[in-house]
Chain A
Amino acid sequence: MLQATNISYAHRRFTILEGINVEVNHGELLVIVGPNGAGKSTLLSVLANEMGKGSEPIIFKKKTFKDWDERELAHNKAKFSQSNSPDIPLSVKDVVMMGRYPYFNATPHQTDIDAVQAAMEETDVAPLAGREYNSLSGGEKQRVHLARVLAQLDNDVDNKLVFLDEPLNNLDVLHQHRILHTIKKFTQRGNTAVMVLHDLNLAAQFADTVMLLKKGRIVAHDVPGEVFTRETISQVYNFPCTICANPVNQNPLIIFGT
């Protein structure tokens, strides 16, 4: 579905990513983890075609991004960015409606209005629909943009792709889990998600595969049970940890500082 070989990226003379190969399949939820400065967000940017001309082309559904029609591509892939614009003098509803811009020319259709409503309910911002975006708290803004991304991919296309850069920042526990469940449901319908997360336990619980990065290189890329081992994690994060089976669902449970 999404293939990239030998990705390298440097800012000035500073290497950020080096020789990374990624392949993500239909229905896969890939979580990228790693310490600060590992290049997680940069890798996501490169994969999402934000960097312009890269060293090697990225193949999405058997075509390079350049060969895609812009609008068609927007129906197939979306990205949630980490740095959201703080100043958008519009109502919440209007911001979420932006996700439907690839679907109408001048007037939103009923399907667009419905998609916006459904997306807002999914991320629990429907009660804020009429509020001024600028008056929201950080976590609420975050959920508005998540709703926008969900609305963008609300269509009949098969095998869609979503990139999420730390979507859980600023969210409380309830909303963290709600969002992850939403994304899990999304991938269970044959779609693909690539997500950067900081919380290793959430990654262990929800990810199909985990990619562990350090200093721009892949340390491990496998199912959570294989990646989350005591040696690897304590070495990569340079911090002692214990890993045991989660008593509820048997996923790896990482306890740091022990």
Chain B
Amino acid sequence: MQNKLFLYLLLSFALLAGLAVWSLYSGVFVFEKHSFLEIFSGIWTNDGSIDASERFVLMDLRLPRIAMGILIGSALAVSGTCLQGMFRNPLATPDLLGITAGASLFAAVTIVLGSYIKPYIPEALHYSLLSVMAFAGALITMILVYRISTQGGRTNIVMMLLSGVAITAIGFAVMGLLIYFAKDDELRDLTFWNLGSLAGATWIKCAILALVVLVAYSMLIKKGKALNAMMLGERDAQHLGIPVERIKKQIVVLTALMVGTSVAFAGTISFVGLIVPYILRLIFKSNYHIILPLAAVWGAILMLSADTISRTVAAPGELPIGVLTAFMGAPIFMMILIRNRKQM
């Protein structure tokens, strides 16, 4: 089983690398006839064979965008998978639980109210302020939803989804209020949040995301066995030597961190945390030991393909990426609902 997992991971990584190259070359701007190697050696040695505009598109637009797509897709898929393990339900995803809404709500408040202090602090801190606030929003929502829906280790799925609906509703209300009061440039920022886009990618954002993902994965990726055992029920998992309470706390804090940061930088890109584990489950059943590490790669694959399509299909315009993921995710949401009809 383990060797197979390694093979699947290897193949998935290869696919991701291929996609990244494809994504690099697609778009409105067409590079001159340079091979992949020529472009990079040209940029590396700076010998003048690559002109400034090519260099700009490559280094400041496409590459950071690809990197951010990979990081956010991966983070969202892993968050979804971990939450599903913790809530023991395939519908537990950051967006359906209202965690995304909570994070974007806090981010939106920060944008509108934060404009007063923004001129006085350096750029790097803007992003961290935003991500810290989004993280706080995500964490508060997650704790709220968990408290409302879970009693004695058993989650009431209907309560879980309804508290997500309630929090999303609060998010919409506050967002509406903010849009009403927002100035023009803030309005553009807010709209961007609601639709979700990777267009704002920069290297600083990528670095912060990479750090968050690295910290989270170092603790979460190996929790597959624990999540499997938790399917038995929390008490029985405890008898297998699994420190259930500690793992639940780690999942809550780390997924809030990942979702919060993703929302702060790319807005609400929904359903990634639902689609990826769902597809993996179809192939590997619910074995978290396999689907958790694979979700990390396939989340990146999904996000990168969706983003590349979103910026090429309607060129020179751009389709909001959230529209694409929702088109894929909503039918899957319905499918899971129909399948679980008896348990609801």
Contact = CB atoms under 8 A, between A and B. Distances in A.
Given A88-B286, A89-B285, A107-B2, A81 B233 contact: yes
Contacts of A88: 231-232, 286
Interface string B229-264: 101110110111111000000000000000000000
Nearest to A163: B239
Interface residues of B, number: 23
Nearest to B239: A79
* B243, B286, B343: residue with the most chain A Cβ atoms closer than 10 Å: B286
B118 interface: no
Given A90-B231, A90-B287, A101 B240 contact: yes
A87 B286 CA distance: 11
Contact of B1 (A87, A101, A107): A107
Nearest to A51: B235
Given A87-B343, A90-B231, A81 B236 contact: yes
B142 to A, nearest CB: 23
A61 to B, nearest CB: 16
Given A90-B286, A107-B1, A99 B236 contact: no
B241 A106 contact: no
Interface stretch (A66-74, A196-204, A223-231): A66-74
Contact of A102 (B228, B236, B241, B289): B241
A159 interface: no
Contact of A73 (B225, B231, B241): B241
A223 to B, nearest CB: 29
B69 to A, nearest CB: 29
B281 interface: yes
Nearest to A72: B241
Contacts of B2: 106-107
Contacts of A142: none
* B229, B235, B281: residue with the most chain A Cβ atoms closer than 10 Å: B235
B240 A50 contact: no
B84 to A, nearest CB: 11
Contacts of A132: 285
Q: Chain A interface secondary structure, helix, strand, loop or mixed?
A: mixed
A79 B1 CA distance: 27
A137 interface: no
Given A90-B287, A106-B2, A98 B239 contact: no
A99 B281 contact: no
* B1, B236, B243, B343: residue with the most chain A Cβ atoms closer than 10 Å: B236
Contacts of A74: 239-241
A122 interface: no
Interface string A50-87: 10000000000000000000110111011101011101
Contacts of A98: 228-229, 232, 240
A152 interface: yes
A78 to B, nearest CB: 6
A48 B287 contact: no
B228 A90 contact: yes
Nearest to A88: B231
A48 B239 contact: yes
A90 B285 contact: yes
Interface in B271-317: 281, 285-287, 289
Nearest to B243: A70
A94 interface: yes
B156 to A, nearest CB: 15
Interface string A106-132: 111000000000000000000000001
A108 B240 CA distance: 15
Contacts of A83: 233
B343 to A, nearest CB: 7
A87 B2 CA distance: 24
A48 B242 CA distance: 15
Contact of B232 (A45, A85, A106): A85
A152 B240 contact: yes
B292 to A, nearest CB: 12
Interface of B: 1-2, 222, 225, 228-229, 231-233, 235-236, 238-243, 281, 285-287, 289, 343
Given A85-B231, A90-B231, A90-B286, 9 more contacts: A48-B239, A73-B241, A74-B241, A79-B236, A81-B235, A87-B343, A94-B287, A101-B225, A108-B1
11 contacts: A78-B239, A83-B233, A84-B233, A85-B232, A87-B343, A90-B285, A90-B286, A90-B287, A98-B228, A101-B242, A152-B240
Interface of A: 45, 48, 50, 70-71, 73-75, 77-79, 81, 83-85, 87-91, 94, 98-99, 101-102, 105-108, 132, 152
